[in-house]
Amino acid sequence: MDKKEFRVLIKYCFLKGKNTVEAKTWHDVEFPDTAPGKSTIKDWHTKFRRVEMSTEDDERSGCPKEMVSDENILKIHKMVLNYRKLRLNEMADTLNISTEPVHHIIHEYMDMRKLCAKWMPRELTFNQKQRRVDDSEQCLKMIKHNKPEFLRRYVTMDETWLHHFTPKSKRRSSEWTVRHDEPTPKRGKTQQSAGKFMASIFWDAHGIIFIDYLEKRRTINSDYYIALLDRLNEEITENNRI
């Protein structure tokens, strides 16, 4: 049953003197899978009592059919292809129509949606992308040749920001209560401190090799990463991880 038919039934229950609880019980028995919720029945019941609602569907503005023409669809399609960041009001102003038919054409006829660009530190050049492909293929060959030895010698790293103070999560601050009527524990709202520093962590199959903490006012550039790799080489040699 659709919404209009349910409104008719609820008004029938109202005219028969049934309250919202009785109407809800009757609907659950007769239409267990599609019956409206308790709040919906209560809301409709109140509007029927105040004569603020009828059993007919409300009029909707809709989209004028003359605006959704093949000509407008073709024009909007060309505009979007020429400039993907074009906004609805800009297309509507160009065609001298409202934004509603433009929105209707883009979503219903062209099946398009607008997505935000994914942020990334910087775009790689063709040579950098090819270098990553070559390195990945070389690693795959080494794995196939001797997987245990490759995993033993493989070293990876990651970077993370560490705040000077990080508040406990809601789960970590939970406490056991002795009685059911015991009040809920309270704690003041805290935020992460603004002060933070970056940690670079290197590890292999045996565990962490070393952690480097970025010095204040130190610039992250190629010299910084070269120094990190030199230190990594020294740590691996000293710990006999070759």
Cβ 165 vs Cβ 192: under 8 Å: yes
Do both 159 and 204 map to the same domain? yes
Q: What is the CATH number of the domain that holds 22?
A: 1.10.10
Q: Is residue 34 part of a domain?
A: yes
Q: Tell me: do 163 and 232 sit in the same domain.
A: yes
Point out the residues of the chain with pLDDT beneath 50.
1, 55, 57-61
Q: Residue holding tokens 């909007």?
A: 76
**Alpha helix ranges (H) inside the chain:** 3-15, 20-30, 38-49, 70-82, 88-95, 99-104, 126-145, 147-153, 222-238
* Domain co-membership, 142 together with 225: no
Same domain (yes/no): 162, 227:
yes
Would residue 242 count as lying in a domain?
yes
Q: Is residue 114 part of a domain?
A: no
Q: Whose structure tokens read 């270098």?
A: 131
Rounded to whole angstroms, how far apart are CA atoms 227 and 43?
A: 69
pLDDT of residue 200: 93
DSSP 231: H
What pLDDT is attached to residue 3? 53
For residue range 109-159, list pLDDT tens digits in order. Answer: 888 888 877 776 677 888 989 999 999 999 899 999 999 888 888 899 999
Q: In sequence order, which residues have a C-beta less than 8 Å from that of residue 9 and are 6 or more positions away?
A: 27
Residues 161, 223 share a domain? yes
pLDDT computed for residue 133 by the predictor? 94
- 177 assigned to some structural domain: no
- The answer to the question of residue 144 being in a domain is yes
Backbone phi, psi, residue 160, to 5°? -150, 150
- Are 70 and 44 in a shared domain? no
pLDDT of residue 1: 47
Output the six-digit token pair for 127: 């040579």
CB 231 within 8 A of CB 210: yes
Range of the domain at 211: 155-167+190-242
Q: How many domains does the chain have?
A: 4
Q: Domain check: are 83 and 131 in the same one?
A: no
